[in-house]
Structures are given as C-alpha cells and as structure tokens.
Chain A
Amino acid sequence: MTVPLMELQSVNRIFKGRNSTVQVLFDVSMQVAPRETLCIVGESGCGKTTTGKILAGLSKPSSGKVLFDGKDVSGFSGASYADFRRAVQIIHQDPYASLNPVHTVYRTLSFPLLRHGLVKNQMEARARVLELLTLVDLTPAADLIDKFPHQLSGGQRQRVSIARALTVNPKVIIADEAVSMVDVSIRISLLNTLTELQKRLGLTFIFITHDLAVARYFAWEGRIAVMYLGRVIEEGPAKLITDAPQHPYTQALVSALPEPDPEITRRKPRVQLRSEDIPSLTRLPSGCPFHPRCPIYVPGVCEHERPELAATQVGTLAACHVTAQTSHHAEAIAARGASVAT
C-alpha cells in the first residue's frame, strides 16, 4: 500500500462527565489510501460518528495518533493546520439542520470561497458557485443559486451540503449518514453523484452508515470497517464483508437485515443472538465485548481475553477467538443458521 492519506493509530477517546467517564473508542486503528472508499458501519453508539469527527479534526483523541498524509495532525499549527482542515471536509446527516435557513444557496457556498481567498470577488464567486452546483447535478444551477433551503427538497439540500464541502477543494470527504435522511427513491442517485465526484476529483471517501446494504453499494470497490462498542471488529473489502462475514457480529448484522426480495428475505438463515440487549458503554463486558450476545461464545475463553484483529481465511481482518481458531468456523455457522431458520 502507498502512504495512507489518513490514518488512525490506536486512537482512544474518553468523554468525561461531571460524575462519570465514558470511553467510546478503544484502540481504533484504520488507514485510508488516496482515492479509496472506506465505509464505517455499526449500530448507534458504536463510535462511528466519534471516529468521523476525530478524522475530520473536530474532536481530539484522548490518546493515539491521527496522521494526515503521513504527518501527525497534532503537530500542525497555523498554516499547516488550516491546510489540513481545508483538505478534510465533512457532510452531515441532516440537510434540514446543517444548512442555515436564512442564507441563500449562493451565500452558503460563496462564504467559504471568499473566506479562504479562493476567489477574488463576488463576480468570481458566483461563477464558481454555479460551477459547483452543476458539479453536484443541481441543475439548472442559475435557477437554484438564489433559493433558500426551505425552497429545496431534501435531496437538493443534501446536494448543496456536498457542494459546500467541495468549495475548498478537499482531498478527503467524511460523509456521516449522508443519505439516511433522503428518500429511498433518490438515495441511489445521490450515492452515484458522490462516486462520480470521487472519480472526477480524485477524492478519498470515509462514509459512515448504519446500513450495510448502502455500504456495500457505495464501497463496492472499497473497504468496510465494522465497529462494535467502540472497536473495529472486522475490516476488509466490501464484497467479502457482506458476502462472507467472518466475525459473528457481522454475521448477525448480515443475517438480520431484511432484503428487498420476498423469496430471499424469507429464506435467509437467521443467526440467533444469546442476548438482544446492547451492553452499556459504562459497564462493558470483560474479554471480547461481544461475548454476552455471541452465538459461538466459548466459555472460559471469550470472557477472559480480548481478541485482536487477525487475518481470516477469506482475507478480511476479524477480532474473534473462535474465527481465529477454527477453520471450519464458517461451515459451523452455516449449519447453525440453517437449524435456527424457521
């Protein structure tokens, strides 16, 4: 692999409250190569948004390092820090909340251009904003440039958010649940716009989502990292993660997800978890954090020692004692799933 464009090295993040401290990220390491797509997938509370914020420089790790282009971000100051912040942009989940309702599209998009001296005057700014709107498929751009957010549909607003992220010519875009608020019928076209931009502008994408099916579509050529209770528990090429998941948690996610096809969704084997409740981050289980729910839990092993990410036979990384030990694990799960399915 070439030098990763962004890298997390053993990042921990602890939030201190008045009476309690909560650790939300444990030893998170990940790498993203230039022009690559990395999807971070997990359920609410798994730390995916915090990871995104740390990557974007909006939050600092309690320990561990964030590297951008091989350089430690904490060492940046002045101009180098400004360059970093410009190079990494974030698209937020809710386009209804992330755009200022009293600013027109032009004002929202021209502000960063003028602020960062990327254009000399309002004339140039207007031309550049029109160009950006066309780039994100908001056409006819001339009709939309003077509109307020309330005059736009949800999908159009999200496109304005994308255009805003592009104003400062970033290298990395972090999209936090960027399509979960828009209607299913236009979700695909929004994702296609992002893919198109990636190709045309050579962008690197870190895409945060709770939806494995969306992750599979968007990261078809890229990678998926699955997080559970503040840790990355499985990571690998998107196709492998969704077609041949190795960690029992990923297997549970894949098996639980309903599919948009009545035959497939009704015949799909279901993994039965031992417990349905997600443990609280303030009282984490010992050993493997998934052991109280894990269907293939081995008493005497899993609750004592925490498994590290290790290479699996299919070519992904998974943090599981059982996966690491038995090569027949996948078959065992398949047999188990078939017996559980009703």
Chain B
Amino acid sequence: MANPVLSVSNLSIEYNSLRGKVQAVRDVTFDLYPGETLAVIGESGCGKTTLALGLVRLLPKAANIVRGSIMFHHNGQSTEVLDLTAKQLRAYRWGDCAMVFQSALNALNPVLKISSMVQDTARAHGERDTKKIEQHAKELFEAVRLDPERVYNSYPHELSGGMRQRVLIALGVLLHPQIVIMDEPTTALDVLTQRTVIEVLKRLRDSMGFSMLFISHDLSMAAELATRIMTMYAGEAVELGTVADTFYRPTHPYTLGLLRAAPALHGSPENLSSIPGSPPNLIHLPSGCKFHPRCPYATEICSTDDPPFEQHLPDHWSACHYWEQPGEARTAYREELATLLRESQL
C-alpha cells in the first residue's frame, strides 16, 4: 500500500467529569491510506465521535488528549496535528481534513443563504475570487445531484433533509481536502434519500480521490461503502481489517455480535441475536479484556489479561485471546451466502 495520509498512534482522550475521568478513547492506533474508506463501527458511547472530533481537534473543553499522536502526511511532509498553532489548525481543518457532521438540520446556519456559507468558507481559506468560488460550488452541487441555481440561493429551511445532507457533503469537499470525516451521514434519512446520498458519496470519492473516515453504527452502510472496517468497543479499537475479512472472518467476538444483530432482507431471521448485557462504564472499566463480561468465548484469562491489539492474519488486526473462534462461527453463514449468490445469480 502507498504511504498513509494520516497516522494515528496510541491516541487517548479523556473527559473530566464530577464522578471521575471518562476514558472515551484509549490507545487507538491506525493508518488512513489515500483514497480508502475506513468505516468506524460500534455502539453508541464507544468513542467513535470523540475519536473523529479529536482528529480535527474540535473536542469540547472538558476533553483532554492525554496521549498519542496524529500525523498528517501531505506532499512529502509530515505534520503533527496535536502541535499545530491556532492559525495552522484553521488551515488544516476543512482545507486538509474536513468533517461532515451528523445532523444536517443543525449543521447549517439557518439565517444564512447557502451561497454565504460557501463564500465565507472559501474566503476564510484565502480564496478571493467570488465568481470562481460560485462556479466551483455549483459544479459540486451538480455532482451531488442538486439543482445548483436553486440550492445556491436558498436558505437551509427551503431544502429537504436529504438535500441539506448533500449540501453539507458538497461544502465538506469544497476546498479539496485530503481527508473527509463523515459522522453518521445517513442516519435519520429515508431509505430512498439514503440511497441517493450513498451513490453521491461513492461518486465524489472516486472522482476526487479523498480518503474517507466514515463513522456509523449501521453495518449495512459499512458493507456498502467501506474498504476497511475498524470496530470500536469501550473506547478501544478491537478489530481492524478489510471489509470482506471483517464480515466473513471476523477475529473479534464483538464484531461477530454486531454482525449477528443486523437484520437483513436476505436469509432467515433465526440467525439473528443480540449482544447480551450493556457497554461498560467508561469511568470504571472492567479488568482484562473490556468485552469479557458480554463475551460468549470468555474464560479465566480474559478477566485478568487485556489482550494486545495484534495482527493475527494478513492486514487484519484484533485484540482477542480467542481470535480464531468468531471466524469459525461464521462458517455456516459463508456457506449460506455462497448458496444464495449461486441461486440468485446476483
């Protein structure tokens, strides 16, 4: 693989609270490669959004980056994002690394026209040619299947939810960033609107070549868009692998649990099950493997020894003492899938 565009190592983020320190992100290490789409999946409260906010340093005041490094590589130069000055940070955000926020309803300023938001953004990053900005924005609106003339001169309330989400995506890539972070880009959208957003994202990614970090609790979205998947649990990355490896040969029981909990339009529903129990308290974490109280494979060792995050298979990392078992548990599914694909001739 090429050199990464972003290298995150041992990133740990804590929130100060009255009851103690909330360890929202713990020792997360991963590389993001040019042009790839890395999906970050996990339950609510697993640290997905905190991680994303940390990468653009938009964390709330109560949060501290206690450890780690975020290296941004571009044009042969490497920059430590954690050491950027306020001025450098303003250029890095949006210019190099853009973030598209979760709620399209709240992310746009209701009293500004879309045109003002476009112009303000470009001007803040040193572009002075108003006509050029307008033309570029309209091209992007066209690319996300919006009517450029109408949308450019609209206020946010004049647009539907799906249109607003696409405006946000177009705004996100306005300055040709190397990295685009999407936080749940299709949650709260209807099925057909969601499909449009997915297709638009695929097209933009392929034509502009940016890397995408894609946060979602929806495995179907990850299956559709991702090249690699990172599973997070209790603030830790517990598995990282290609989309096919993750879905067909998971090496962490939590990933397996998520896969088994996702209802589908194919197959029989008997195979579905929930993960028992609930996520741990992030102030007082369990000993050993953080997943052991909910894990079907847990033994004595899991409650005492925290398994390291290791590469067990080629390009496939996970933190589990019994990493071989989830993959075996997926054998029946792989066979069922093969039959299904053969019969339906998809």
Contact = CB atoms under 8 A, between A and B. Distances in A.
A264 interface: yes
A186 B275 contact: yes
A189 B274 CA distance: 5
A43 B162 CA distance: 13
A262 B43 contact: no
A184 B219 contact: yes
B220 interface: yes
Most-contacted residue by chain A among B190, B243, B276 (CB, 10 A): B190
Contacts of A184: 43, 217-219, 258, 261-262
Interface in B37-60: 43-44
Interface string A237-250: 00000100000000
B44 A183 contact: yes
Interface in A182-233: 183-190, 192, 210-214, 216-217, 220
By Cβ-Cβ distance, the 10 closest A-B pairs, closest first, are: A189-B274, A258-B220, A256-B195, A260-B262, A43-B190, A267-B346, A213-B263, A188-B274, A260-B219, A258-B224
Interface stretch (B62-70, B128-136, B265-273): B265-273
A214 B194 CA distance: 17
B194 A256 contact: yes
Interface string A273-284: 100111000000
Contacts of B278: 153, 155, 186
Contacts of B98: none
Nearest to A192: B274
Contacts of A264: 223, 264, 266, 337, 340-341, 346
Interface of B: 43-44, 145, 160, 162, 190-196, 198, 217-221, 223-224, 243-244, 247, 257-259, 261-266, 269, 272-276, 278, 337, 340-341, 346
B224 A265 contact: yes
A110 B150 CA distance: 55
Nearest to B229: A262
Interface residues of A, number: 45
Nearest to B219: A260
A153 B279 CA distance: 10
A278 B163 CA distance: 12
Contacts of B219: 184, 260
A304 interface: no
Nearest to B276: A189
Given A188-B261, A188-B272, A254-B265, A262 B244 contact: yes
B72 to A, nearest CB: 29
Contacts of B266: 259, 261, 264
Contacts of B262: 184, 213, 260
A213 B264 contact: yes
Interface in A145-198: 153-155, 183-190, 192
Contacts of A259: 220, 223-224, 264-266
B148 to A, nearest CB: 15
Contacts of B44: 154, 183
A215 to B, nearest CB: 9
Contacts of B162: 276
Given A217-B263, A259-B220, A265-B223, A210 B191 contact: yes
Among the interface residues A188, A242, A252, which one has the most CB atoms of the partner chain B within 10 A? Answer: A188
Nearest to B244: A262
Given A217-B269, A261-B223, A278-B192, 20 more contacts: A43-B191, A154-B44, A183-B44, A183-B217, A184-B218, A185-B261, A187-B261, A189-B276, A212-B191, A213-B264, A217-B272, A252-B192, A256-B191, A259-B224, A263-B337, A266-B224, A276-B145, A276-B162, A276-B192, A276-B196
A257 B193 CA distance: 10
Contacts of B275: 185-186
A186 B277 CA distance: 9
B220 A257 contact: yes
A253 interface: yes
Nearest to A255: B195
B160 A216 contact: no
B277 to A, nearest CB: 9
A185 B274 contact: yes
Nearest to A260: B262
A263 B224 CA distance: 9
Contact of A216 (B223, B269, B341): B269
Contacts of B340: 264
Contacts of B223: 258-262, 264-266
Contact of A277 (B160, B195, B243): B160
A273 to B, nearest CB: 7
Contact of A220 (B218, B244, B269): B269
B268 to A, nearest CB: 9
Contacts of A242: 265
Between A185, A190, A270, the greatest number of chain B beta carbons within 10 A of the residue's beta carbon is seen for: A185
B265 A212 contact: yes
Contact of A188 (B191, B244, B265, B273): B273
A214 B263 contact: yes
B220 A260 contact: yes
Contacts of B272: 188, 217
A307 B195 CA distance: 27
A142 B20 CA distance: 28
Contacts of B261: 184-188
Nearest to A249: B192
Contact of A185 (B192, B195, B258): B258
A327 interface: no
A179 B224 CA distance: 23
A268 interface: yes
A44 interface: yes
Nearest to A189: B274
Contact of B192 (A153, A187, A273): A273
A242 B265 CA distance: 7
A273 B162 CA distance: 15
Which of A44, A184, A213, A268 has most chain B Cβ within 10 Å?
A: A184
